[in-house]
Amino acid sequence: MTAFTVRLVPCLTDNYAVLIHLPDSGATILVDAPEDGPIRAALGTEGWRLSHVLLTHHHGDHVQAVPLLRAETGAAVIGPAAEADKLPALDRAVADGDRFAIGGLDIAVIATPGHTLGEVSYFLPAAKLAFTGDTLFSLGCGRVFEGTPEMMWASLETLKRVLPDDTSVYCGHEYTASNARFALSVDGDNAALAARAREVEALRAAGRPTLPVTMAAEKAANPFLRADEPALARAMGLEGQPAAAVFAAVRRAKDTFK
């Protein structure tokens, strides 16, 4: 097993970049590039040299630091082929089902469209890590900007099926506290959700991130992953309806939740 160290880097108001360092090869992988300053500072503190950048999707708050970081480090940039025309120049364009390795660490590409049409998630099976960008958040999911609710639900179902329970999930934003308030409003009888909400409150009160979170915890508590659960359909007044319809109703309710 390739040794690795993961460091979460808060950027902008509520974005996260993630650094993965592989001491055996000296490789350092950045997942998404919201802001160069904090990423450069984290690299400097650790004494790591950036070698690769993985991009989840084309939004500015995930890619805008790429040109500066690439100019400084020569890092290779990897991102979804389907959004190559909207991304900084890619050294490697990837698509669903692709697998490649960096410094001996295996990386699988999972297409997760909906928030944007070409968004991908990255799964590192041996390291038990997943990076879900703006598709899956803790207790939430991304807004459906470019795709359809059906597409987003299919992406979340894929993540539920493919990512083992003990996967540590890293998301693109620290939205968990506000996601918890909404989740409790639609799934208030869910004990796992109540427990996670208390944990999130304590973490945020201590100034700590709520990520990573295990896939098992998300499957139990995230209403957007539970659209196929009869209890949630009932709570939405959609008993017997297809999961995609329940998901769409939950997503609509979240879009207007105050």
Angle at 54 between CA 77 and CA 27, to 5 degrees: 80
Closest by Cα among 6, 37, 38, 33 to 22: 6
Per-residue interface string for the shown chain with Zn ion, residues 18-57, x marking contact by CB under 5 A: ----------------------------------------
Does 59 show up as a binding residue in the annotation? Answer: yes
59 sits near Zn ion (criterion: CB under 5 A): yes
* CB nearer Zn ion, residue 134 or residue 174: 134
* CB nearer Zn ion, residue 134 or residue 187: 134
Span of 48-56, 88-96, 130-138, 217-225 interacting with Zn ion by CB under 5 A: 130-138
Span of 46-54, 133-141, 180-188, 243-251 interacting with Zn ion by CB under 5 A: 133-141
Determine how many CB atoms are found less than 10 A away from the CB of residue 145: 14
Does 24 show up as a binding residue in the annotation? Answer: no
Choice from 17, 75, 108, 134 touching Zn ion (CB under 5 A): 134
Provide the annotated active-site residues: 57, 59, 61-62, 115, 134, 173
Smallest gap from Cβ 89 to Zn ion, in A, equals 20
Closest by Cα among 148, 125, 153 to 215: 125
DSSP secondary structure of 83-143: GGGGSSPPSEEE-TT-EEEETTEEEEEEE--SSSTT-EEEEETTTTEEE-TTTEETTEE--
Report CA 13 to chain centroid distance, whole Å. 16
Smallest gap from Cβ 209 to Zn ion, in A, equals 18
Report CA 211 to chain centroid distance, whole Å. 10
List residues near Zn ion by CB under 5 A: 59, 134
